Structure 1
Amino acid sequence: MENPNPLNVYKGPDSVQRYFHPESSPPLPLVEIPDCLNPYRRDGVRIYAKMMTMHPANNVKSMPALNLLEKTVQKGKTQTIIEYSSGSTVISMSLIARVFHDLRDVRAYLSNKTSPAKLRLMQFFGLDITLFGGPSQPEPDDERGGIRAAERQAKEDESKINPNQYDNDDNWKSHVRWTGPQILGQLPEINLICAGMGTSGTMTGLGTYFKEAKPSVYRVGVCTAPGDRVPGPRSHALLAPVQFPWKSAVDHIEEVGSHDSFSLSLNLCREGIVCGPSSGFNLKGLYQFIGKRKAEGSLAELAGEDGEIHCVFLCCDLPYQYIDDYFDKLGAEDFPKIHNEHLAKVDLYRYDDKWEKEPAHALDLFFTQGKPQPQTCIIDFRQPLDFYEFHLPGSVNVPFVHEDTPSPFAEPYVLESLWKRLEETFKAPSKELDLLRGRRILFVCYDGDSARVATSVLRAKGHEADSIKGGIKALRRLREKSPDLGFGARSQAGVEVIGGHLDRPSRVATQVV
């Protein structure tokens, strides 16, 4: 299969169109899964993932969306596209409508049972959303559902179109046009194709293509197990009213549940085949079919001339919009533990290096000739005896930490305790915050880390707060560099430093805020 664009570069005014179009792009990857995911490798079975997720729209519905809009949009007449879709089809349509047809009004009709994550994803891509009650997967001919509502809207206004993925043969014909030829060109020795069945378009198209192009290819469709639900595919019962010729396009149907779909998708992702639950669903259906053929002793009948069985399943979607579902469907044992998880509920505010001042810079900002600047407040978190021995003039002592208290950034439980105490002390309304209102605040502690946390808390509450990097220890080192200088004198760097005798703390200085 000749590569139409070997360097995969797109330039010029139609660059994005060519990027999206399968006829001007390299074929989507076909990747053999690692042996650790193939329980039948020793039986001569080789399994390949067709990465439909690698299309720019990131899902299997991009091909149908491209074909449907190419055949239904009328230039100069069509202004609005309306489609009932659980997500992937209409998201692909919104992208392709803009890229190929300069249409921005794409409206999604979908079930009110759609997850918040998927709704936000659709909003992210600019879709106008209308929700409908009733079954999450309505039958195409149900007059009460959103599928028929979208169809009626288009009939009432010539400027609106409803491509209708459920009843438009251009859906499944896209896979005859592009997906099937790509797979056969990449893997001429293919013996088996497997795909899930939702609208049934994917399997109908692939099955129809291989029936003509290579009739020896065995075709396996996968449906959702009765009473269960996997995003995208349908149960076998719900396929009954689908008008596509899917029955002639499959040789066998497997039914798969949601737990296996999510679990196998998770395993694929962790081995580098990043895909969503419907991809794990397809692979599980393939496993089940191969297992049955092996048990009945007929597996070898599927082998080609090389004695091996080359199977392709479709990777249809990505996992990211279903992350919460993975945690709901699977057990805690399937996921690594989060260490220090208790920190997720504390220390919630931002930090900024600009708020952590070097000692000399802090003194310059908060003192003029040894006296605190007007409208400033200096809060020292050390213990009273340490505060008495050495403190900045005008400081207020709030004894939150001890000299041997670990840094809150080294010991998570110290951070949790400190943050909660700061939140409680400086919660609004309070006399403490009234005292600080309109003042620039400088926090001081032993090593600067606790003061840094306090700065984050007070900044989040709208106060102008800073801390001294390195804390009192850094201030002491600054004084040691100029032992002969008294407070208010200038160092060689032109910065006021502390030295000599310090004032005894007043009653105000030692009170707890």
Structure 2
Amino acid sequence: MPVISAPHEFNVPDLFIDLKSVLGAQLYLKCEGFNFAGSIKLKAAVEMIARGELSGALRPGMTLVESSSGNLGVALSLVAASKGYRFICVTDSRCTLANRQRMENLGAQVRIITEPDEEGGLLGARIRHVEELCAGGEGFIWLNQYANLGNWMSHYRTTGPEIGAQFPDLDVLFIGAGTTGTLMGCARYFRENQPSVTVVAVDSVGSVTFGTPPGPRMIPGLGTSVRPQILDDSYVDDVVHVPETDTIRMCHRLVRHGFVLGGSTGTVLSGAQQWIAVNRPERDILGVAISPDLGDHYLDTVYQQKWLQDIYGLDRDELSEADELSAASRATA
């Protein structure tokens, strides 16, 4: 029986969903949303704060400041509340209402950026605001998830070994690319311990992370408008870019099977399906994909009919028809 004294001490390390009946491939989904922060970002938040404390850069009474599209902000809010730190999250207008409310209820101050930077987009504007905050007074510390080694080290120590222990014969691992902490930590782990595993990064169309042109992105989580400093392409075997409409279609396909998962998960699984169709059409593959969060963070966006219609012109009937066609295609394959 697990017994904890702080909320960040709890996490479910070994829950996987067999998606063969949904996607028609031997693909398992590692679910990372079952903790008190509701996402995989709790691992990075705990590691970065611990490293700050150990180095002496983070001391009692200081204020944490971080740029986040939502999930890391929630995770840092939780750990900060548990440890007695103040926390300011600098986010932007794409952050979901659910995540903003979670942060505020945990005692964080949320600042929303609405005007993008000319070159760095909304992310660049967020980072500039963080730098201005930290330069304006004593007692502020920016953990900087885009450059902090603790971001990827947390997954090198936990997520990678958790997958490796369950799947010693793993062929390919699909990982969403946001700040690239999960990607870099797992890729480094498997390069050193199971080098036969193919590591595929899944990114959003419009993200500049892997050198593709910038474009509008409305779903928070994956993708960047400024390349993360911790990214090392040499650890990545392949990259797939997914349009947001495909993300939404995958999320709604999953929910019709009873799995209410996050937008980032929809992106990762859409990318995995695309990669398998091109590279392993015979489906002789053992794959794992990482699900960063659950769908409750996206009830007012990805699963909200008006939002889908306003942003993408999609309606539920169209999404249902697409899923039925996909199911029929799998049945006759």
**TM interval, short-chain normalised:** 0.7 to 0.9
User: Aligned letter for 1:245?
Assistant: L
Inter-partner Cα distance in structure 1 for 2:185 and 2:258: 28
Conserved? CA contact 1:111–1:137, under 8 Å: no
Q: Aligned match of 1:102 in 65, 74, 84?
A: 84
- How does 1:483-494 map onto structure 2 within 5 Å? none
Question: Unpaired runs of 5+ in structure 2?
Answer: 207-214, 309-313, 321-333
Q: Aligned match of 2:111 in 130, 147, 151?
A: 130
Residue by residue over 1:241-281, the C-alpha shift from the partner in whole angstroms, topping out at 9 and shown as x without a partner, is: 32113312211000101121122122223324331111011
SS where residue 299 of structure 2 aligns?
A: helix
User: Aligned letter for 2:240?
Assistant: E
Q: 1:137, CA displacement in angstroms?
A: 11
Equivalent residue for 2:298? Answer: 322
Structure 1 position 288 matched with structure 2 position 298: no
Q: Aligned match of 1:119 in 100, 107, 132?
A: 100
Equivalent residue for 1:38? Answer: 23
Equivalent residue for 2:150? Answer: 170
Inter-partner Cα distance in structure 2 for 1:77 and 1:118: 26
Conserved? CA contact 1:86–1:114, under 8 Å: yes
Q: Aligned match of 1:93 in 65, 76, 92?
A: 76
Report the CA distance shift for 1:114/1:281 in structure 2 as closer, same or farther (over 3 A). same
Report the CA distance shift for 1:246/1:138 in structure 2 as closer, same or farther (over 3 A). farther
Inter-partner Cα distance in structure 2 for 1:197 and 1:256: 11
| Aligned residues: CA RMSD | 2.7
SS where residue 53 of structure 1 aligns?
A: coil
Inter-partner Cα distance in structure 2 for 1:140 and 1:83: 17
Q: 1:114, CA displacement in angstroms?
A: 3.6
Q: Aligned match of 2:65 in 75, 82, 100?
A: 82
Inter-partner Cα distance in structure 2 for 1:124 and 1:72: 24
Report the CA distance shift for 1:272/1:188 in structure 2 as closer, same or farther (over 3 A). farther
Inter-partner Cα distance in structure 1 for 2:199 and 2:244: 22
Q: 1:156, CA displacement in angstroms?
A: 4.5
Q: 1:320, CA displacement in angstroms?
A: 2.2
Inter-partner Cα distance in structure 2 for 1:113 and 1:98: 24
User: Aligned letter for 1:79?
Assistant: M
Report the CA distance shift for 1:28/1:62 in structure 2 as closer, same or farther (over 3 A). farther
Report the CA distance shift for 1:198/1:335 in structure 2 as closer, same or farther (over 3 A). closer
Equivalent residue for 1:212? Answer: 192
Q: 1:157, CA displacement in angstroms?
A: 3.7
SS where residue 309 of structure 1 aligns?
A: coil
Conserved? CA contact 1:67–1:171, under 8 Å: yes
Conserved? CA contact 1:207–1:250, under 8 Å: yes
Conserved? CA contact 2:113–2:122, under 8 Å: no
Report the CA distance shift for 1:172/1:50 in structure 2 as closer, same or farther (over 3 A). same
Residue by residue over 1:424-464, the C-alpha shift from the partner in whole angstroms, topping out at 9 and shown as x without a partner, is: xxxxxxxxxxxxxxxxxxxxxxxxxxxxxxxxxxxxxxxxx
Q: 1:323, CA displacement in angstroms?
A: 2.2
User: Aligned letter for 1:234?
Assistant: G
SS where residue 260 of structure 2 aligns?
A: coil
SS where residue 16 of structure 1 aligns?
A: coil
SS where residue 286 of structure 2 aligns?
A: strand
User: Aligned letter for 1:98?
Assistant: A
Report the CA distance shift for 1:234/1:61 in structure 2 as closer, same or farther (over 3 A). same
User: Aligned letter for 1:323?
Assistant: L
Report the CA distance shift for 1:157/1:78 in structure 2 as closer, same or farther (over 3 A). farther
Inter-partner Cα distance in structure 1 for 2:235 and 2:259: 27
Conserved? CA contact 2:264–2:293, under 8 Å: yes
Report the CA distance shift for 1:202/1:137 in structure 2 as closer, same or farther (over 3 A). farther
User: Aligned letter for 1:331?
Assistant: D
User: Aligned letter for 2:18?
Assistant: E
Q: TM-score, normalised by structure 1?
A: 0.54
Report the CA distance shift for 1:323/1:334 in structure 2 as closer, same or farther (over 3 A). farther
Q: 1:188, CA displacement in angstroms?
A: 1.6
- How does 1:217-366 map onto structure 2 within 5 Å? 217-226=197-206, 227-229=215-217, 230-234=219-223, 238=225, 241-294=227-280, 308-325=284-301, 326=303, 327=305, 328-329=307-308, 330-333=314-317
User: Aligned letter for 1:285?
Assistant: G
Inter-partner Cα distance in structure 1 for 2:107 and 2:319: 33
Q: 1:115, CA displacement in angstroms?
A: 4.3
Report the CA distance shift for 1:332/1:231 in structure 2 as closer, same or farther (over 3 A). same
Report the CA distance shift for 1:138/1:171 in structure 2 as closer, same or farther (over 3 A). farther
Q: 1:126, CA displacement in angstroms?
A: 2.5
Structure 1 position 20 matched with structure 2 position 8: yes
How many residue pairs match? The answer is 300
